[in-house]
Copies of this chain bind each other. A is one copy, B any other.
Amino acid sequence: MTGKYRAVQYGCGPIGCSVARLAAQRADIELVGAIDIDPDKVGRDLGEVIGLDRRLGVTVSDDAAAVLAQARPDVVFLTTGSSLKKIFGQLTEIVKAGANVVSTAEELAFPWRKEPELSAEIDRLAREHGVTVLATGVNPGFLMDTWPLAMTAVCQEVRQIRVSRIQDACPRRLPFQKKIGAGCTLEEFQSLVDAGTLRHVGLAESIAMIAAGLGWELDEITDEIEPIIAETEVKSPYLTVKPGQAAGVKQTGHGIKNGKEVITLDFQAYCGARESYDAVYITGTPDMEVVIRGGTHGDIATAAMVLNSVCRVVAAPPGLATMKDIPLVICTAGQG
């Protein structure tokens, strides 16, 4: 590739904006279109919408078909939602327009287990139109699937795998603290769980990807959510968690094979965690313990994963791709 990749930003919410901001910095990307349905964004320059101090000469439009037809992108960054069913129509429209897709939709990261028919349909359409579809991000997309799988390369045998992502929410923004239920009573916390707003989406997809990578047939995948209850008062710059209140959330995913738990994903985000870190623990030959000290900044990493995947997606054979099967994604900001 000598020229730039022509890219359309589809979805200008918080994640889409962070992807587009990074895209605007990259020498290998030319933003050629932007799509969103929010009337406050439609008709404005993308540079302004994503908070740059310069115009990009790209107007946000709510007419996806027109943008795709006029912009003729190499790749579309699809960041409109988490649910495969909800983005399916948008996705197929892009594929039929002949553009590759890099999406942050969590359920698209490894949809083969939960949605085999939809997955097969996306794969078929992508092949028919000669394009590649990939979903990626920090989690799912890296920390709880690609990274642990990459570490197994040096193992002669893997019997069990556990991944922990522990985030101290205190330094994070208020919306993040609210999202994880910090400062809620246990009743309020349960209401958020019941409403489905507190759930991290993607544990099941990550477990399915790990299992597929290792060649394991799982009996079932389950997960549960519980509050992490403050024992002492915890203060963040934005709120105070009283003893007995929820300091945040612990969500645990389980992959069961022959009745035994072989994959455990442990996701914790709460105010007052002693340290943030990500860790992979492999039981096998040999055992391994790998730690990202200080953890991984989710918003930075998700945008990075999207942009760093572009060259791999464009070069990949047509179809529905997953992170476990494309070549190593590398920071390509220094390329081009």
Q: Which residues of B contact A288 (CB under 8 A)?
A: 292, 296
B289, B325, B335: the one within 8 Å of A293 (CB): B289
Within 8 A of B (CB), among A128-151: 138, 142-143, 146-147, 149-151
Q: Which residues of B contact A69 (CB under 8 A)?
A: none
A213–B330 Cα gap in the complex (Å)?
A: 7
Given contacts A294-B289, A328-B325, A331-B214, is CB(A304)–CB(B336) below 8 Å?
no
Within 8 A of B (CB), among A268-311: 284-286, 288-294, 296-297, 300-301, 303-305, 307-308
User: Is the CB of A326 closer than 8 A to any CB of chain B?
Assistant: yes
User: Is the CB of A152 closer than 8 A to any CB of chain B?
Assistant: yes
User: Shortest distance in angstroms between A256's beta carbon and chain B's nearest beta carbon?
Assistant: 15
User: Is the CB of A155 closer than 8 A to any CB of chain B?
Assistant: yes
A120–B11 Cα gap in the complex (Å)?
A: 44
In chain B, what residue has the closest Cβ to A301?
B154
Q: Which of A152, A157, A308, A330 has the most CB of B within 10 A?
A: A330
User: Is the CB of A215 closer than 8 A to any CB of chain B?
Assistant: yes
B158 touching A328 by the CB < 8 A rule?
Answer: no
B149, B153, B324, B325: the one within 8 Å of A146 (CB): B153
A153 touching B305 by the CB < 8 A rule?
Answer: yes
> This chain: how many copies in the complex?
2
A324 touching B330 by the CB < 8 A rule?
Answer: yes
In chain B, what residue has the closest Cβ to A21?
B156
What class of interface size applies to chain A in its complex with B? 35 or more
User: Is the CB of A216 closer than 8 A to any CB of chain B?
Assistant: yes
In chain B, what residue has the closest Cβ to A282?
B331
User: Is the CB of A323 closer than 8 A to any CB of chain B?
Assistant: yes
B149, B156, B304, B328: the one within 8 Å of A323 (CB): B328
User: Is the CB of A333 closer than 8 A to any CB of chain B?
Assistant: yes
User: Is the CB of A234 closer than 8 A to any CB of chain B?
Assistant: no
A333 touching B146 by the CB < 8 A rule?
Answer: no
User: Shortest distance in angstroms between A10's beta carbon and chain B's nearest beta carbon?
Assistant: 20
User: Shortest distance in angstroms between A131's beta carbon and chain B's nearest beta carbon?
Assistant: 19
A334–B216 Cα gap in the complex (Å)?
A: 7
B154 touching A296 by the CB < 8 A rule?
Answer: yes
User: Is the CB of A332 closer than 8 A to any CB of chain B?
Assistant: yes
A333–B214 Cα gap in the complex (Å)?
A: 8
A157 touching B333 by the CB < 8 A rule?
Answer: yes
User: Is the CB of A22 closer than 8 A to any CB of chain B?
Assistant: yes
B289 touching A155 by the CB < 8 A rule?
Answer: no
User: Is the CB of A118 closer than 8 A to any CB of chain B?
Assistant: no
Other A-B contacts than A142-B153, A157-B331, A291-B291, 11 sampled, CB-CB below 8 A, are A146-B150, A149-B328, A150-B328, A152-B330, A154-B305, A155-B301, A156-B307, A157-B333, A214-B330, A324-B330, A325-B328
Q: Which residues of A contact B (CB under 8 A)?
A: 22, 25, 138, 142-143, 146-147, 149-158, 213-216, 284-286, 288-294, 296-297, 300-301, 303-305, 307-308, 323-336
5 closest cross-chain pairs (CB), A and B: A215-B335, A152-B331, A154-B301, A153-B329, A215-B334
